[in-house]
């Protein structure tokens, strides 16, 4: 799987995928990147990446369009399946907007990979497929890759709002289905479960997890649960995705969630480093119990390492300042906390 081969990245214009495409190009890969709309300015940045003119081909493909996805995967030795809707707003039709692209979309990508004789598929899942009320997991025990979120609990728990149920359910089902597809067909499928991803953005629009950090600094009307978050830098995540693609011995799931911090601790860090921002108020943080954290040891044992959280935060905020995402424009609607993160 040397760097002279061709790989496909689905949803190439997104936050995580853009960094992955940049890394792959830097390591000598030829990349087939899929986007939904070729004329959308949201993915224009891809063409400006170094070596993009020589080694990046952009394909128009919705996850639900098997033929378009198959055309993008032809000639590829590897596939990085990154695309999934990560909604910033509440969903109006969760089955259509969330489950179909996540679940049917993943199946389409895997079928296309099989048809093209791809050697390995890396599926980007999430720690939401690990951490939510796992059945039979001993209280206080560090969670590892053998821990699966309880899909039934996510579907049935009234405390969760529509949006969060469906995002979590979609990530659980699609990861399970992808690994099962690999077992059934012999296609080499591995998954990565990132925590909350922060870092500078390559894409021009603000994605949901970057909006999380922006909200903590700008403040606003929404309450935030004092959850124990697991954070990873987007650049370190891209390295992790490439590592599990390249290391022959990689198999199964890989938690990629190295930094554990509560919202109160994160707020203290932000206030000490950026005293000029209003930040969310302490009253807007709702306390809750903290279950046992997760470990990224499996990935570390493969040779992965990551930068300190302080560096990630500094780079993410420095980027947002330069891009004007932290400005306080007159008449601007109040900043909102992405509802996705308030229940998962």
Ligand X SMILES: NC(=O)c1ccc[n+]([C@@H]2O[C@H](COP(=O)([O-])OP(=O)(O)OC[C@H]3O[C@@H](n4cnc5c(N)ncnc54)[C@H](OP(=O)(O)O)[C@@H]3O)[C@@H](O)[C@H]2O)c1
Binding site for ligand X (CB under 6 A): 11, 13-17, 36, 42, 62-64, 82-86, 101, 105, 124, 126, 171, 194, 196-197, 207, 209
Dist. CA 112–CA 340, nearest whole Å: 30
Exposed, middle or buried, 156 (CB in 10 Å: 0-12/13-18/19+)? exposed
Catalytic (active-site) positions: 171
Cβ 137 to ligand X shortest distance, Å: 20
- Residue closer to ligand X, measured from CB, 136 or 240: 240
- Residue closer to ligand X, measured from CB, 128 or 283: 128
Cβ 82 to ligand X shortest distance, Å: 5
Cβ 72 to ligand X shortest distance, Å: 10
Dist. CA 70–CA 52, nearest whole Å: 22
Dist. CA 150–CA 172, nearest whole Å: 8
Cβ 167 to ligand X shortest distance, Å: 7
Look up residue 176 and give its two tokens.
Answer: 């399970």
Cβ 4 to ligand X shortest distance, Å: 26
Sign of CA dihedral 295, 257, 259, 228: negative
Look up residue 267 and give its two tokens.
Answer: 């707020």
Contacts of 58 (CB under 8 A, 6+ apart): 12, 33, 34, 35, 38, 43, 46, 47
Report which residue's Cβ sits closest to ligand X: 14
Distances from the Cα of 246 to the Cα of 51, 206, 233, 300, angstroms: 21, 30, 20, 14
Do strands 228-233 and 259-262 pair parallel, antiparallel, or not at all (unpaired)? antiparallel
- Residue closer to ligand X, measured from CB, 14 or 220: 14
- Residue closer to ligand X, measured from CB, 34 or 77: 34
- Residue closer to ligand X, measured from CB, 44 or 115: 44
Distances from the Cα of 230 to the Cα of 141, 201, 256, angstroms: 16, 19, 9
Contacts of 292 (CB under 8 A, 6+ apart): 139, 140, 141, 142, 143
Cβ 254 to ligand X shortest distance, Å: 12
- Residue closer to ligand X, measured from CB, 67 or 282: 67
Look up residue 60 and give its two tokens.
Answer: 């128009």
């Amino acid at each position: 799987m040397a760097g002279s081969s061709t790989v496909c990245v689905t949803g190439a214009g997104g936050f995580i995928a853009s960094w992955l495409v940049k890394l792959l190009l830097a390591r000598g890969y030829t990349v087939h990147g899929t986007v939904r709309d070729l004329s959308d300015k949201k993915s224009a940045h891809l063409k400006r990446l170094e070596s993009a003119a020589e080694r990046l081909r952009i394909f128009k493909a919705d996850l639900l369009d098997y033929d378009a996805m198959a055309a993008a995967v032809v000639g590829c030795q590897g596939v990085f399946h990154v695309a999934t809707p990560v909604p910033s707003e509440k969903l109006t039709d969760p089955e259509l907007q969330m489950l179909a692209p996540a679940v049917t979309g993943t199946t389409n990508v895997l079928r296309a990979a099989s048809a093209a004789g791809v050697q390995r598929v890396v599926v980007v899942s999430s720690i939401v497929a690990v951490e939510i009320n796992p059945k039979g997991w001993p209280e206080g025990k560090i969670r590892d890759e053998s821990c699966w979120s309880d899909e039934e609990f996510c579907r049935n728990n009234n405390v969760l709002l529509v949006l969060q149920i469906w995002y979590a359910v979609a990530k659980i089902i699609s990861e399970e289905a992808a690994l099962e597809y690999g077992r059934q067909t012999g296609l080499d499928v591995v998954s990565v479960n990132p925590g909350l991803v922060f870092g500078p953005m390559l894409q021009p629009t603000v994605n949901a997890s970057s909006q999380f950090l922006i909200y903590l600094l700008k403040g606003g009307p929404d309450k935030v649960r004092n959850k124990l978050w697991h954070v990873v830098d987007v650049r370190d995540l891209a390295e992790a995705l490439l590592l599990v693609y390249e290391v022959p011995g990689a198999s199964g799931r890989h938690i990629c969630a190295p930094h554990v911090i509560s919202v109160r601790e994160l707020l203290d860090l932000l206030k000490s480093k950026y005293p000029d921002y209003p930040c969310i108020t302490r009253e807007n943080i709702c306390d809750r119990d903290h279950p046992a954290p997760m470990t990224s040891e499996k990935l570390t044992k493969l040779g992965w390492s990551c930068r300190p959280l302080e560096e990630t935060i500094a780079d993410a905020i420095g980027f947002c300042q330069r891009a004007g995402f932290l400005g306080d424009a007159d008449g601007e609607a109040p900043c909102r906390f992405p509802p996705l993160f308030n229940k998962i």
